[in-house]
Amino acid sequence: MNKRETILAAFAPANGSSHTPVQVQKLLFLIDREIPKLVGGPHYDFKPYNYGPFDVSLYDVLLELAGDGYVEIVPEQTWSSYRLTEKGQQAGDTLLTSLDTKAQEFIKTVSEFVRVLSFEQLVSAIYKAYPEMKANSVFQGCE
């Protein structure tokens, strides 16, 4: 899989629900970190940033996918969220089901994980599991 395909497969379990920037970053970070070989990765170069692992190139790929009609960029108050279009959902479902069962289950689990936690809970959980990603943090949330 390439970067585009990984995002589509990663977003597929959400079934059209949107992802905030922190959810996008942490979702792809966890896939890259935990199952890189199962998805042909790692695809990104995550570095510790204000709120944990971050790679700005993710947004370039999302813009490409939006330009091709696979992702919808939804303006929020001070950021944009991202969700699959119908075309993107079909492609994501196909890509997800083409993966090894272990990869499918991991992606489904981590997709739900990043979407059900609050911002603070998600960032804190990442810092707890990957303390090296806290290095440049401005986040002072719960420990």
pLDDT value, residue 134: 85
pLDDT value, residue 141: 53
**pTM of the predicted protein model:** 0.93
pLDDT value, residue 13: 98
- Taking alpha carbons only, the member of 130, 126, 104, 108 closest to residue 39 is 104
| Residue stretches of the chain with pLDDT short of 50 | 142-143
pLDDT value, residue 143: 46
| Domains in the chain: ranges and CATH | 3-134 (1.10.10.10)
d(CA 94, CA 139): 37
